[in-house]
């Protein structure tokens, strides 16, 4: 399980999502103009080479805040989970 460092304290991703400030962080990060590009680049380039990257490593690699990195990795993790739960689409012949 990955852990997020917050000023010396370590919290699990499940705990930061349940924090009452999480929705405010998500809203703030979504207002960043480059957020969609950072998320797409992380999905398409970074995670293919470094699937277990931490928020701190992602923040350093992209030059973004730790909060933005946390939101990006959380949202991409949710997308991956949803994709694995959905049945494969049937192909028509």
What's the pLDDT at 1? 40
Is the pLDDT confidence value at 65 over 70?
A: yes
Q: Is 45 helix (H, G, I), strand (E, B) or coil?
A: helix
For residue 93, name the pLDDT band (cuts at 50, 70, 90).
Answer: low
Res 34 pLDDT > 70: yes
Cα distance between residue 69 and residue 77, in whole Å = 12
pLDDT of residue 88: 67
The region of weakest confidence among 25-34, 65-74, 76-85 is 76-85
- Cα 29 to its chain centre, rounded Å, is 11
Cβ(6)–Cβ(15) under 8 Å?
Answer: no
- Running DSSP on this structure, what letter comes out for residue 46? I
Percent of the chain with pLDDT over 70: 78
């Amino acid at each position: 399980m990955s852990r997020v460092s917050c000023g010396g304290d370590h919290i699990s991703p499940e705990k930061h999502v349940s924090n009452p400030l999480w929705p405010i962080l998500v809203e703030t990060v979504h207002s960043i103009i480059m957020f969609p590009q950072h998320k797409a680049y992380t999905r398409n380039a970074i995670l293919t080479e470094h699937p277990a990257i931490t928020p701190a490593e992602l923040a350093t690699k992209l030059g973004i805040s730790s909060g933005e990195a946390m939101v990006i990795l959380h949202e991409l993790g949710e997308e991956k989970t949803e994709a694995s739960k959905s049945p494969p689409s049937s192909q028509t012949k």
